[in-house]
Copies of this chain bind each other. A is one copy, B any other.
Amino acid sequence: MPDASKVNDALQAGMTLGSMLRRMYRALSENVYGRLADTGFPDIRPMHSSVLRHLTADGARVTTLAAQAEITKQSMSAIVEDLIQHGYLESRPDPSDGRARLVTLTPHGQALQATLTRLSSEAEKVLAENIGEQKYAQLRALLMEWTQAENERERAGK
């Protein structure tokens, strides 16, 4: 059983779960995007990862990407447009549907995606060193479990 009074103290001291999650997220994010800028991708910001995270070699439609990233298609459209301007993506009409367009990575975009994955992994490694491999593994497992359960709940409640 978790020590409820201790949690309460923490809440009083402003250490909500949310604030800590947010802070850890920011730490990772700043690490990754700071280094990304130093690695030849100075025009890429966190928002761009919502595309890069999900885009596979097959390409995808803006609508699909938007759904995966849980943002509106207008927002996703703007992000994609920006990445096209910078040469990371290209988009061509989808042969199987006259309304749709297929978004794919250019070689430059593939390099970016690879670098982003690498830097994310390195950032996690730093965190693992700070709290210990064991606890890092625990944290990751916990989050993955929750995320997957959350996906279930959404599919169900929809």
A contact residues vs B (CB 8 Å cutoff): 1-3, 7-8, 10-12, 14-25, 27-29, 32, 49, 53-54, 68, 70, 117, 120-121, 123-124, 127-128, 130-131, 133-140, 142-147, 149-150, 153
Contact = CB atoms under 8 A, between A and B. Distances in A.
B146 A131 contact: yes
Given A14-B53, A150-B27, A20 B121 contact: no
Contacts of A139: 17, 139, 142-143
B147 A131 contact: no
A52 B26 CA distance: 20
A53 B16 contact: yes
B117 A2 contact: no
Integer count of this chain's copies in the complex:
2
B54 A2 contact: no
B131 A149 contact: yes
6 contacts: A15-B147, A17-B124, A18-B123, A21-B22, A21-B143, A138-B142
